[in-house]
Structure 1
């Protein structure tokens, strides 16, 4: 564009018809020059103060406290830390019907998922149910999201099981492994709560969409491959989670395959995938997909019990003790030998579970037209895991699959988490002996059907069209997870996006700003 050079390298043309006059015979372009006045200079201290405020307090959390009497300030402070005191006084009986239905529906998904994900973390199945009992009760008091359903998730379970297995064999020394799991959960909770208290939530935002898409897809592949042990009936399986060692083990152990297990696993996996596809095509039938895992467990358990299928190479869970989870404070282990691995595991699982929990909470809050405080959610999730580590639970967060079911079932408040927890409690007290004949193949099928939705090809293609560098970040994260390790893939993806960010900060395109 033609035009005179204005002050500080900025061209300003305030006449919309200047191009027409410039091209008209005998007419010259009329360009008005304006001097752009630079903003007033600020001291370094003021700049730092402004930057810190924008980083740590962009939402001005104390604005509601200004000008209020002391009693009102105390009341607002208590409500801030205990959101249940904000919504419970306004709770209506008409809401309970929706929360009751949602809680029961989520429980039908939480029970088989809890058992399955605990096995994925190399923990006793009962720990998965414990983790679906205490943490939801804590979140109902401290959480600000109305629709977030709390429990263990596949990715954090996989990471915890994989990282701790590098230090201790979960089958050779299950007691020590359990101690490390509880300790890692404590560190995860402390890290998560600290992020919220110190208002450092922007750190998890550094995990870009591309990073998460690649990482989640790679983790979903690894989780699915790990389930080949249950689907094929293999006894000897590698500890490493890479695609190469897993597939090598599958090929080398063909003599251990059980056609009965393969047939059962394939049938129930097909059933679960069909119900999932049906619920996607017809959202009103969400309850079909939500109830399919529990239905699969019940049907397969009855089949094994009636036909004595365990005598025909179909491996089952075995006897599970009944009762509620006791305190595990005395099981926390801070021995210097294992302190490094528990802290690392807590940090990685804490970041991943916190990222999913906050993202899911924000997504469903947006759908329902309200806002949640990310830092408050971090404190709630962190305190939930701290309490969980002391009550025989491992890392939990707001799970996407459960929250989607909770939302579709019409939940109104966090009370649906309480209903879910009570249902799990009844299961722990009365129904545990019934799971003794549940086949491992069905649990493997439940995990695969749950994580397959994490492979988001459509979003990856959209990233490719929008930004090739972000697409490389996505690919590097994916390949790093499946060929190196879950934590290695995450580190590669974050490292790549960091290089892009640093390059962006130091890039000066040198172009003038032109306003017309």
Structure 2
């Protein structure tokens, strides 16, 4: 007697289940590490410096000193320049520069990344300050806003890293990052052109297209500042181009020429600062102004050091801007660190990198620093300079300290137009090149459209809108790809292996022949057999597609088992009228010419997971096609290597030869879907063999030669190791794999 309790045991895979599959306990034990070992590893992973500092040597020290000094020489002028973008006093850029390179080395998993002020974050900082000031006029100063934002963002990112939630960043693709960075670079460069030319009288933080239009209109108002801006910009590019060409022509001088190119920022600023001092020192007006705009007084040392004062009303005012600032800090740093990890052959830990950024910005708020993250240009410079370990950041911090305590009197005479030239030259490297954009188009046209959308929205609106557009469109594309995966009904092509005479069958989509060669014809499988490939994990967003495609294909191309021409309309289902009164016989004759459905083969080579909704969709598919065929249909599953998927399919009643109960509903409904009780008994009778169930044992496996074992279980004959075996079993009608 087959009891409900005995059937339930066979479904949920109790220990006495004769069908071998993974149990929940085994699955958890496999993927859950030893808790004690995990805690120890977690604590040690917070300080990666402990894993390599004991092996530090003189060779590493030499490389770090050279790279640190090189980056420091660039960091000082860039830090001051980026502070002007953020509409902050220049010393705050130096504060951020010092804290970034000092703290990061303790938590870093990347030797190349240089943390500090960056162009995109500085632009966003300026927009945040403007918004807060507009909502709360003269209530908060720019430095107060910047320090508070640094503290809160740092705390948020630190929490994300400690909780190991860095995988969230993977939902934002590289194309989206490239798009908003390109748009931001264009916006920054456009906003610096007025300062380069000495043009004023309009808002340089407006939309990029407005800034460009107003700059063109203001060209007649160009001032003497252009004499310090245009030569600086031209010199920066000329020196770089000359050094690059000479290094190609004279490879032996490549490294000295590289350092000459690197030092061009400092060289140009020093020369034009001296020229500024010589020209303006005796030309101060009665109002205290000079003929050109110069930097002015830069306070010596760390003037803002101390415990940050976090005003609750300011935190409330910043609430709407926190997601934007946090996303930029996360994305830019992780993208840069991963890029240099790939280039230089090491792997970064994204969660640890988030901890590094979080600690840097949290501690930075005690020094008066504004939000800092990884810099692409300085990281590239650090990498090319031969950096060996993250300790090179300490050397860069020494350079910043020397500048803060020893060079501030000289900073007074730096022309603002020269800093604008430095900014334009730096952000130009963030703009994607035409070959790179063309590569996006060749790889994925849809993602290329996302790139253009991010750039255009940034240029014609704001950086904030550009970032949100790039992220939302990327997530929307991901959801569309999950919900509408590529599917195909497959056919066979016989190919020969190289020069040998051996042949084998491969399976390709029937639509469009599945190949680019028009002379290759894909043959359909044997009549009554379908081969279906689902190129995505079968999950609740897309499982309905699996069911609808197969059922629609079966009803359109395969024979209906029951003759509906003689069934009165009063006895037909409301949603299945069958053939009409006129031409019913002809319709039935056409139906009889179609092949009878015998088996459906599922290629699961690209399916890594099945959820409850997907298994229910398979159950529904089986019910509907068997109702159409009016007999049982074999369901074969190929390339079934995941024990978890095997368990899911067994729970749905698939895979066995009549020894497992066949559920009709595993999700919501409790009413049997079959309207015809006779058909229900006839269809299930083949599978629900009481003799097999009462025996309690699966069929004994066949004997195998010594040293050989079956790849898949012998008592699940509808599960197959590869597609060829599955198709062969389906076409032959055999129940052995």
TM-score, reference length from structure 1: 0.82
Quote the offset at 1:77 in angstroms: 5.2
1:132 to 97, 100, 110: 97
1:501 to 466, 470, 478: 478
Runs (4+) of structure 1 exceeding 6 A deviation are none
Given the alignment of the two structures, is residue 273 of structure 1 paired with residue 237 of structure 2, yes or no?
yes
Report how many aligned residue pairs link the two structures: 459
| Unmatched segments (≥5 aa) in structure 1 | 1-37, 67-72
Provide the residue aligned with 1:316 in structure 2.
294
- The 1:272–1:41 alpha-carbon spacing in structure 2 relative to 1, beyond 3 Å, is same
Deviations 1:327-351 (A, max 9, x none): 353433321xx43442343432222
Partners of 1:346 and 1:116 in 2: CA distance: 24
Provide the residue aligned with 1:88 in structure 2.
53
Partners of 1:50 and 1:236 in 2: CA distance: 68
- The 1:303–1:39 alpha-carbon spacing in structure 2 relative to 1, beyond 3 Å, is farther
Given the alignment of the two structures, is residue 416 of structure 1 paired with residue 381 of structure 2, yes or no?
no
Given the alignment of the two structures, is residue 379 of structure 1 paired with residue 379 of structure 2, yes or no?
no
Provide the residue aligned with 2:425 in structure 1.
449
CA contact (8 A) 1:132 1:424 kept: yes
- The 1:195–1:168 alpha-carbon spacing in structure 2 relative to 1, beyond 3 Å, is same
Partners of 2:150 and 2:89 in 1: CA distance: 15
Partners of 1:343 and 1:291 in 2: CA distance: 40
Say which is worse superposed, 357-366 or 432-441, in terms of deviation.
357-366
Provide the residue aligned with 1:35 in structure 2.
none
CA contact (8 A) 1:187 1:342 kept: no
- The 1:301–1:120 alpha-carbon spacing in structure 2 relative to 1, beyond 3 Å, is same
- The 1:256–1:166 alpha-carbon spacing in structure 2 relative to 1, beyond 3 Å, is farther
- The 1:210–1:50 alpha-carbon spacing in structure 2 relative to 1, beyond 3 Å, is farther
Given the alignment of the two structures, is residue 426 of structure 1 paired with residue 438 of structure 2, yes or no?
no
CA contact (8 A) 2:157 2:357 kept: yes
- The 1:278–1:361 alpha-carbon spacing in structure 2 relative to 1, beyond 3 Å, is farther
Provide the residue aligned with 2:269 in structure 1.
297
TM-score, reference length from structure 2: 0.58
Quote the offset at 1:111 in angstroms: 0.3
What's the RMSD between the two structures over aligned residues? 2.8
Provide the residue aligned with 2:194 in structure 1.
229
CA contact (8 A) 1:227 1:444 kept: yes
More helix by share: 1
CA contact (8 A) 2:199 2:222 kept: yes
Give secondary structure in 2 for the equivalent of 1:235: coil
CA contact (8 A) 1:106 1:402 kept: yes
Partners of 1:39 and 1:154 in 2: CA distance: 59
CA contact (8 A) 2:100 2:114 kept: no
Say which is worse superposed, 77-86 or 409-418, in terms of deviation.
77-86
Determine which structure has greater relative contact order: mean sequence separation of CA pairs < 8 Å that are 6+ residues apart, divided by chain length. 1
Given the alignment of the two structures, is residue 181 of structure 1 paired with residue 146 of structure 2, yes or no?
yes
Say which is worse superposed, 134-143 or 306-315, in terms of deviation.
306-315
Give secondary structure in 1 for the equivalent of 2:263: helix
Quote the offset at 1:265 in angstroms: 1.2
The higher radius of gyration belongs to 2
CA contact (8 A) 1:317 1:440 kept: yes
- The 1:509–1:88 alpha-carbon spacing in structure 2 relative to 1, beyond 3 Å, is closer
Quote the offset at 1:368 in angstroms: 3.0
Equivalences for residues 73-472 of structure 1 within 5 A: 78-168=43-133, 173=138, 176-238=141-203, 240-254=205-219, 256-258=221-223, 260-278=224-242, 282=247, 284=255, 285-308=257-280, 313-335=291-313, 338-457=314-433, 458-472=435-449
- The 1:488–1:280 alpha-carbon spacing in structure 2 relative to 1, beyond 3 Å, is farther
Partners of 1:434 and 1:136 in 2: CA distance: 23
Give secondary structure in 2 for the equivalent of 1:119: helix
Quote the offset at 1:249 in angstroms: 2.8
Quote the offset at 1:450 in angstroms: 0.6
Provide the residue aligned with 1:69 in structure 2.
none
CA contact (8 A) 1:244 1:483 kept: yes
Deviations 1:337-379 (A, max 9, x none): x434423434322222222222222222333332221111111
- The 1:397–1:79 alpha-carbon spacing in structure 2 relative to 1, beyond 3 Å, is same
1:485 to 441, 462, 485: 462
- The 1:463–1:508 alpha-carbon spacing in structure 2 relative to 1, beyond 3 Å, is closer
Partners of 1:160 and 1:249 in 2: CA distance: 23
Quote the offset at 1:280 in angstroms: 5.5
Partners of 1:39 and 1:505 in 2: CA distance: 31
CA contact (8 A) 2:174 2:335 kept: no
Quote the offset at 1:177 in angstroms: 1.9
- The 1:99–1:450 alpha-carbon spacing in structure 2 relative to 1, beyond 3 Å, is same
Deviations 1:234-288 (A, max 9, x none): 2323154312321243244445421x32232111111112334456554633322
Quote the offset at 1:508 in angstroms: 4.3
Give secondary structure in 2 for the equivalent of 1:168: helix
Deviations 1:129-184 (A, max 9, x none): 111112221111122222222211101111111122122169x8596221111111
CA contact (8 A) 1:130 1:325 kept: no
Partners of 2:226 and 2:277 in 1: CA distance: 18
Quote the offset at 1:220 in angstroms: 0.7
Quote the offset at 1:64 in angstroms: 10
Partners of 1:308 and 1:65 in 2: CA distance: 67
